[in-house]
Amino acid sequence: MTWRALAFYAVCRAIAVGASRLWYPGTVTGRENLPRSGSYILAPVHRSNVDWLVVARVTRRRLRYLVKGEVWRVKSVGRLLELLGTFPVRRGTADREALARAAEVLASGEPLVMFPEGTRGSGPVVGELRAGAAYLALRAGVPVVPVGVSGLERSMPRGAKFPRPVFVRVVVGAPILPGEAEVDRRGRQRVSRASIDAMSDEVRAGIQAAFSEAEAPSRGHRRGLVPGP
């Protein structure tokens, strides 16, 4: 990671965050739950194609995103994402290359953003999670930080071509720590399916709690803007 890469990310983040605040005014709470240093997995609820834009507000540290591979069909967009440190994952498969790159990101001490639901969901209930986030957290020994974001499904539901302005609320939940690593008879570290399932359940509960708090009907709205659900 070079200073040029960090500077490029900082400039692009400033533009993206500035635009998102104009289109999606709102608050971010729970930043104190983010580790100040070292790697972790940021696990937001997934309700819109613009989730990433709002999630970028939570920290000025460079966030490495794991993004669906279909985005790379537009080569210019894929190239830009790569310059920002993003890399693709093939959905619906055990993408070993993506998992290996994600593990490298965590080993380097950077935060990684994963959407554990794997695809956009709908409604107030967090769907079943894919195993990737829990597996990587257990393997790398890093925490998973759940994030809830309100309003974005209403801003850009499935089929919408352009997002509507809404008020949003971002809630960063308490980090979920991985259990101690298991060791096999040969002394090698292993991650069992049971431990993955158990941590996935904890992560899902954490995302649900943050999402429910974000969705709580305790905020007003300005004239001309669509309030979050």
- The structural domains of the chain, with segments of one domain joined by +, span 3-215
The yes-or-no verdict on residue 184 having pLDDT over 80 is no
Q: How confident is residue 188, by pLDDT bands cut at 50, 70 and 90?
A: low
Average pLDDT of every residue of the chain: 87
Q: What is the mean pLDDT of residues 122-143?
A: 95
The stretch 32-49 carries a mean pLDDT of 96
Q: What is the mean pLDDT of residues 18-29?
A: 95
Q: Domain 3-215 classified CATH 3.60.20.10?
A: no
Q: How confident is the model at residue 64 (pLDDT cuts 50, 70, 90)?
A: very high
pLDDT at residue 166, rounded to an integer: 94
pLDDT range class, residue 86, cuts 50, 70, 90: confident
pTM listed for this prediction: 0.88
Higher pLDDT, 74 or 40: 40
The whole-number average pLDDT for the span 138-153 is: 96
41 within 8 A of 175, measured Cβ to Cβ: no
Of 54-58, 121-125, 137-141, 177-181, least confident by mean pLDDT is 177-181
pLDDT at 49: 87
Cα separation values, 226 from 36, 48, 143, 159, 214, Å: 34, 16, 35, 18, 16
Let me know the angle formed at the C-alpha of 176 by 174 and 179, rounded to the nearest 5 degrees: 155
Task: Give the residue-averaged pLDDT of 6-33.
Answer: 95
Please check whether residue 154 is in contact with residue 166, taking contact to mean a CB–CB distance below 8 angstroms: yes
DSSP strand pairing (64-68 vs 87-89): parallel
Is the pLDDT score of 48 beyond 70?
Answer: yes
- Supply 90's token pair: 């093939």
Cβ–Cβ < 8 Å for 172, 209: no
Q: Is the pLDDT of residue 220 over 60?
A: no
